[in-house]
Amino acid sequence: MILIVDSGSTKCDWIAVDKNGQQLLEKIRTKGLNPAILKAKKLSKIIKKNEALKAHRLSVSHVFFYGAGCGTENPKNLLHDVLKSIFINAEIDVQEDTMAAVRASINHENEAAVVCIMGTGSNCSYYDGSKLHQRVTSLGYTIMDEASGNYYGKQLIRDYYYDKMPESIKVSFSDKFNLDAEYIKYNLYKQPNPNAYLASFAEFMFLNKDSSYVKDLIKDGFRLFAEHMILQFSDEIKTAPVHFAGSIAFFSQNEINEVANELGFKVGNFVRRPIEGLVTYHTKNL
């Protein structure tokens, strides 16, 4: 059994297939497994809590894990060790989430492209056809991550409290969420995964996209992301497409295309969940 795993900070999708790519179990979803945020004990607990993973752990021959927080050695090694302690008969391969986005979004294996992730967090890399290149080191959700779910969640809460929302949007927002200040601060400062908590507010944008306030909010956030991240590859985007992965990007395609036209780069593919494309990739390359 081969496990292919695509994890953000909020949620983690697992697909179990055989060597021919035939799915063996129903798709599994657990909480997100970000080793830059969670300790080994918590990571292990999340995995072991799933009955299907627990039941089949000795039958797993390979785990191909792609995840947020796996771009630097220490968190990557931490997660590798956690996975190896559970799937003891498996070969474990842990890659940063950007590689999942690359392999799922490019049109052919050797295509050069700029690949962006816009989900709970955000990131951007250039893939030259064989290797990833990054020119900005991400400092995570508190400082960077423009155009991500946690960025937009933060902006929505700020606009609500600064009274920058149109009244009709403000009413809808307060109807949907508990916006008590103490409750918000408790979730931000006393609970794990504050980035995922902030990202939970972002769904509101896509339920209210007929509002010019929401459209401008999405475009302003993406414009910042493009200026800081995509345009660092100013030479590469003259010939390479810019692909996108993640739910925020998938549901913001119109706004992304508008800003791309404004800034002069070519938008390529949008992939909501990269994991399906990874099945084909790994069964071909076992």
Q: Which of 52-61, 119-128, 160-169 has the lowest mean pLDDT?
A: 119-128
What is the rounded average pLDDT for all residues in the chain? 93
Which whole number is the average pLDDT over 17-44?
94
pTM of the model: 0.79
Q: What is the pLDDT of residue 157?
A: 98
Dig out the tokens for 152 from the structure: 């937009």
Top-confidence residue, 96 or 199: 199
Higher pLDDT residue, 286 or 70?
Answer: 70
Helix (H/G/I), strand (E/B), else coil: 96:
strand
pLDDT tens digits, 137-158: 878 788 989 999 999 999 999 9
pLDDT at residue 11 in the model: 86
Residue-level pLDDT at 190: 95
pLDDT digits (tens, 9 = 90+) for 37-95: 999 999 999 999 999 999 999 999 999 999 988 988 999 999 999 999 999 999 999 99
DSSP codes, 179-209: --HHHHHHHHHTSS-HHHHHHTTTHHHHTST
Q: What is the pLDDT at residue 104?
A: 87
With 80 as the cut, is the pLDDT of residue 285 above it? Answer: no
Task: For the chain, report the end-to-end CA distance as a whole number of angstroms.
Answer: 12
pLDDT tens, residue by residue, 250-268 = 999 999 999 999 999 999 9
**Per-residue pLDDT tens over the stretch 204-248:** 999 999 999 999 999 999 999 999 999 999 999 999 999 999 999
Domains of the chain: 2-100+274-284 (3.30.420.40)
* Conformational region of residue 126, where left means phi above 0, alpha means psi within -120 to 50, and beta covers everything else: beta
Specify whether the CB–CB gap between 218 and 252 falls below 8 A: yes
**168-203 residue pLDDT tens:** 999 999 999 999 999 999 999 999 889 989 999 999
Q: Which regions of the chain does DSSP assign to beta strands (E)?
A: 2-7, 11-17, 28-31, 62-67, 91-96, 113-118, 122-127, 132-133, 242-245, 267-271
**DSSP H or E stretch at residue 81:** helix 73-86
Per-residue pLDDT band at 8 (split at 50, 70, 90): confident
pLDDT of residue 279: 86
pLDDT tier, 18 (very low <50, low <70, confident <90, very high otherwise): very high
pLDDT of residue 159: 98
Give the Cα separation of 99 and 126 in Å (integer).
Answer: 10
